[in-house]
Every structure is written in structure tokens, then in C-alpha cells.
Structure 1
Amino acid sequence: MIMSTIFPEADVTEGLKSAMRLYASGVTVITAGQGAGRRGLTATAFTSVTMDPPTVLVCVNRNGQAHDAIVENGHFCVNVLCEEARDVAESFAGMTGKTGADQFEGFEWIETRVGAPAYAFAQAAVACKLTQTLETASHSIFIGEVCEAATNPDRTPLLHFNRGFHAIGALK
């Protein structure tokens, strides 16, 4: 079968957006800061970089408050969400109308050793100290050395696919 839609070079941005919508990925909330200075965002751009030392990267829009919180605090926590945490994903994706530290309200948070908030019921949480920042176009690529990691393998992951949040097995 050949591809049903081919985007010409002039529409390559739309083609990439369409392709990324069809890439199912885990959902994370990236957090930084403390108290009234806490900030976060829902993101799918997270991956491991090396295991020696343990290092991960996240990509964050430079226009967001979470970006500034990561830079100012020198830390971040990647909270891998489970399907029961759809409301957390929605809050940090800006779907509830809450902004800033208000997005944390109603959810239980634990302060990590680096100072970044970890969602208490995450499937996994990876707390990092910021070691490098690379800028490209509208985003920064934050590379962090992992200082603390916690997992809850009994939870089912939340996925992002075609502009929505889904549980495994619910995609069709």
C-alpha cells in the first residue's frame, strides 16, 4: 500500500505535523521550581541520552513559563504519566484554564532531591540537574543528569496519539 497523503515540499511543515500526530508516544509532565514558582508543561519530547552518566533530554518551547523555571532553577523532573493521570496531563497542557503554579492544585506532589516537583502517582519520575542547553528555532533542548528516579510499574501508561490522550488498547 502506498501512502494516502503526500505533502509537497511547500507543505512539509504540515506533513511533519500530520506525521507527528500519528506517532503514539508516552505522555510526560515536565516540572521545575518550588512553591509559587513551580511551573510545568505536558510534553512528549523526552528520551534517554546515555546511561553513563545517566542522562535524559527534554525539548521545551522557549516562550513558556516552564522553560524559564528550568533555566532559573537548574533542574527539572520528567513525570511519566499513567492512564489515571489524564487530568494531570490536561492541566499542564492548558486545557483547564489554569496557569502557572495553579496547575499543580488538586494533585499530590513530592519534592525531589534536586528540588523539582514529582507527581506522587506517576508511572515514573526522573529528577535531573540541568547540565546543558541547546537552542534550536523556538525550542531549547535541555539535557539533564539524572539524580533520582522512581517507578511504579503496576500502572498503565497514558499515550498521546492524533491530538488526544489514550490508554493502551484504546487506539483504533
Structure 2
Amino acid sequence: MSHTGYDVDVRRLMVGFPTGVSVVTAMTRDGNPWGMTCTSLCSVAPDPPSILVCLRRGSPTLDAVLDSSSLAVNLLHRTARPAAELFSSGDPDRFNRIPWVAAPHGGPHLIDAAHTIADCAVSTAHTVGDHVVVMAEIVMITSLRTPAPLLYGMRRYGVWTDDDDSNFLNYDFIS
């Protein structure tokens, strides 16, 4: 039961809201990389260029983001499902299993898994339940390849597909 007196299952609501998949990364002050898969990403404003990400309280990635006051948002491309799964697994050796490079303004860049990377400076952070909403200003954008995003919805990964019979893009969810 929620505080409103109604049974509210936010996961059931959000499963029907497909979204892009990213990996949020950060470096600790002593140079250790951290990262986690994140679908809670939102554009906030074009001026200054700002985004928000929601990260689980107690996660080492959140600790690294807050400690360094910076992060990178790696937007994953359509064939990067293995990276999404790796960074959601909790595997402590994840950065030994995927190509990445250090960046001067944010967190590690996942050079084979991302189509675009936004390096960001943290502006504020607010605790909401068991997550922290991190507001960040984009300081640099790196485009690695044509955007062809990896999607997540209905508890499955998916990709955009072109339908020659219409002007619409369709989701093709893959198990």
C-alpha cells in the first residue's frame, strides 16, 4: 500500500513505457571506474543543456558520481545488449570485460557499446525513496556512430525497425 491508501505498482505502470538504454559511468578520485545500466534518463532543459538520471541509493556508481561531481551517459546502440546486461549484473570485473576509455570531463566512455556519449557535471542531487535523482549539465557530447538505439520495455530489449509500408518507426522487441 502506498501513502495514498491505494495499491500503486509503479513497475507495472512503467513496463509499458519503452525507453532507451544507457550506461551511466563515473570515476572515483583514485581512478576506479564504476557504471550501471540506466533507463531512468530524461532531458531537462536545452539552456543550460541539462539531463537527469535516477540511480539506486547505495550503489558504488552513485557514490562515484557524487564524489567526482561528474558522470558520462553512454547511450547504447542496437547491438549493445550484452553491455546493458553486463552493467546491470553487478559483475565487479565489468570494466575488464568491455572496451572503454577514460574521458577528461566525465566518466568512462564505452567506445564499442555506445552510439553517443554525454559528459556531464553534477549540479544537484535529491533523494527520492530508494533512488537519487541526479541533475547534471552536459559539458560535451561525443557521437561515435549513427544513432540506432537499444530500447527496453515490456521487460525485454528491442530495436527500431523501419517499415517500408508506412512513415512510422516500429519497435521490434527481442527476448
TM-score > 0.5, shorter chain as reference = yes
Unpaired runs of at least 5, structure 2? 162-171
In 1, distance between residues paired with 2:55 and 2:108?
A: 17
Task: Choose from 138, 160, 173 the match for 1:168.
Answer: 160
Residue equivalent to 2:139? 147
Q: Which runs of 5+ in 1 are unaligned?
A: 1-8
Deviations along 1:83-111, whole A, 9 cap, x unmatched? 111111000111xx612xx1112322122
- Note the C-alpha offset of 1:168: 2.1
Q: Secondary structure at the match of 2:79?
A: helix
Q: Indicate the structure with greater helix content.
A: 1
AA partner of residue 46 (structure 1) = L
Aligned to 1:78: 73
TM-score, structure 1 as length reference: 0.84
Write the mapping of 1:96-135 to structure 2, written as runs, cut at 5 A. 98-99=91-92, 102-121=93-112, 122-135=114-127
| Contact persistence 1:53–1:145 (CA under 8 A) | yes
The percentage of aligned residue pairs carrying the same residue is: 28
Do structure 1's residue 12 and structure 2's residue 8 form an aligned pair? yes
Runs of 4+ in 1 over 4 A off after TM superposition: none
Match of 2:52? Answer: 57
Measured on the aligned residues, the alpha-carbon RMSD in Å equals 1.9
Instruction: State the SS of the aligned residue for 1:84.
Output: coil
Q: Is the aligned partner of 1:47 residue 2:49?
A: no
Aligned length: 158
TM-score computed with the length of structure 2 as normaliser: 0.82
Deviation at 1:63, TM superposition (A): 1.9
